[in-house]
Structure 1
Amino acid sequence: MSGAGDEEAFETKASPPAVAGPLRSQQGLNHRQAPARPAPGSPAESGAQDGLLLDLVTGTNSLLESLDLLAAATVRTVIQATGLRIECGVVVHQPKRNPTATGTSEDVARLLEWEQETKEGPLNEVLSGGHPVAVLQRNGDFRWPRYSTQLQLAGFGSAMGVRLRVGTDGAESAAADGAAFGETAAGLAFFAQDAKAFPLQVIAEARTFAGLAAKSLGMAISLHSARSMATDLRSALDSRTSINVACGVIMAQNRCSYHEAFSILAKASSHRNIKVRRVAEDILERLPEGPPRAHFGH
């Protein structure tokens, strides 16, 4: 079995790892032929990528919101291309952060949570660095018995995990905050009621979309990381400003050094079991003109 493009192994229940390139079967699901996809790097693909990127970042305030949009876009794309009715989930693992996950239904969200806790299932397989695509056809597949039971309870007969290669090509590597990626791992999870819902044509379509989605998701992660960093920095500057001004008030009142003033704040913080910043803010709120406001970025 062979395919065009970057051929990679995938895993199914009935065979050892085989090759799953972006194949196009002669007879798709329900005898529908998948529409032609734009060639990699072509203007059409670039337009699709730009459109998805805008969808993932426009009007979103968090990575979770972007993942919600990505899951919905995945469902629309696969249904349009194959006619297969599916549900979808997305999981992102970032260094030093809790995993971020979402799904197009509550059943999918519960399955993603269960899989992340037990480390068993097709999406966990691809996230842990196994095959880029892992397929579970529930009937007769004994690799993940506990997961198969959960899948059946959720009303699904098939599941598929597809790795999203985030931050591995030139576009992501050149990002200003490359640290946003690090050991980031991401994947798409597909669920269908049919016990044999993911033939090669569907796998190929999912992998083609995953390549596009990974680039857009990488940029979305970069944007949200930059926003988070800016928020943290502003909070740190606000905190430092409050502490410094409060120390100035203490220095004027007690004719002491900055070090002695900060020690007074720290002792009050320890005695009241609250943060130093909160102690400083309490002092500033009692000033005749109220607490001064920091004006960063002007």
Structure 2
Amino acid sequence: MTGADGEAESLQKLAGAAARWMSNTSGTAVECAAVLHRQRSCTVTAGSTAGTAALAASEDEHVDGPTALGSALAAPTVIGQAGARWQAYRKRLLEHGLGAALALPLELQPGSSAALVFLGPPDYGFPARILADASWFGEVASQSLKLALDVHGVIRAGDNLKQVLESRTSIDVACGVLMAQNRCSYAEAFSRLAGTSRNRNLKVRSVADGILKAMPSGAPRTRFEPPAIA
């Protein structure tokens, strides 16, 4: 979350941190791919390297990996040589110079799902002790990602509210100008704005901005900032 501009960057930071943690824990170089699915939103993918990021981005295209939409796992899962379910995915891993994979689902709010996939070299396998450590890390990562998503949601809501307030102010000031020029009511002034908006196929805010820019003193500036915290 720290210093991230959005969900994609937060997921990228998490993938990098996860790769460093697993590499230190296992004693070998391990990479990490990350995928975030949210209702009514595009899938977000990330990776600790360019290769793992590309691998994560291709999950839904191939629909053969542990984080593809519809393949959500309920528990940490080691994807090794055995088993027919992951053979196509394993082949793609080998093509990228990778071996066994450890898929770690993250617990998020309803409507959202995410997973980390730790990717080791071809000759590496994830031992049982790593599974226990990975389960603990998954709990920490889940809380971290939950918090990041909540923060980004609040920021988006604040930005949207700011845009609404600024738009409303421009419209109200423009209506005031029309009221003074035409000696009419607010409802009549807004009706004029709306009529011009329809005739010119423009947003009401754009028509209002045009009126304000034509004023001798120019358009007044509107600023909305959160109150200072002592």
In 1: Cα distance, 2:107 partner to 2:124 partner: 26
Measured against aligned partners, the alpha-carbon deviations of 1:124-179 in whole angstroms (never above 9, x if no partner) come to 37x75433223322x4543145433432332222223211112xxxxxxxxxxxxx
SS at match of 2:175: helix
After TM superposition, list the pairs within 5 Å mapping 1:15-164 onto structure 2: 56-57=1-2, 59-124=3-68, 129-137=72-80, 139=81, 141-164=83-106
Measured against aligned partners, the alpha-carbon deviations of 1:66-109 in whole angstroms (never above 9, x if no partner) come to 22221111111111111131111222223332222211122212
Amino acid at match of 2:75: P
SS at match of 1:123: coil
Shift in Å, 1:249: 1.9
In 1: Cα distance, 2:87 partner to 2:196 partner: 57
Distance 1:248 1:69, change over 3 A: same
8 Å Cα contact 2:73/2:105 also seen in 1: no
In 2: Cα distance, 1:77 partner to 1:275 partner: 51
- Cα root mean square deviation, aligned: 2.4
Single out whichever of 111-120 and 256-265 deviates more from structure 2. Answer: 256-265
In 1: Cα distance, 2:27 partner to 2:138 partner: 18
Tell me if 1:185 matches 2:113: yes
TM-score (normalizing by structure 1):
0.67
SS at match of 1:122: coil
Shift in Å, 1:250: 2.4
Distance 1:141 1:237, change over 3 A: same
Q: Which runs of 4+ in 1 moved over 6 A?
A: none
- Between the two structures, name the one with larger relative contact order (CA 8 Å, sep ≥ 6): 1
The count of corresponding residues between Structure 1 and Structure 2 is 226
Q: Which runs of 5+ in 1 are unaligned?
A: 1-55, 167-180
TM-score (normalizing by structure 2):
0.85
8 Å Cα contact 1:251/1:258 also seen in 2: yes
Amino acid at match of 1:164: L
Distance 1:67 1:288, change over 3 A: same
Identity of aligned residues (%): 37
In 2: Cα distance, 1:202 partner to 1:111 partner: 23
SS at match of 2:131: helix
SS at match of 1:124: coil
In 1: Cα distance, 2:96 partner to 2:178 partner: 62
In 2: Cα distance, 1:253 partner to 1:185 partner: 56
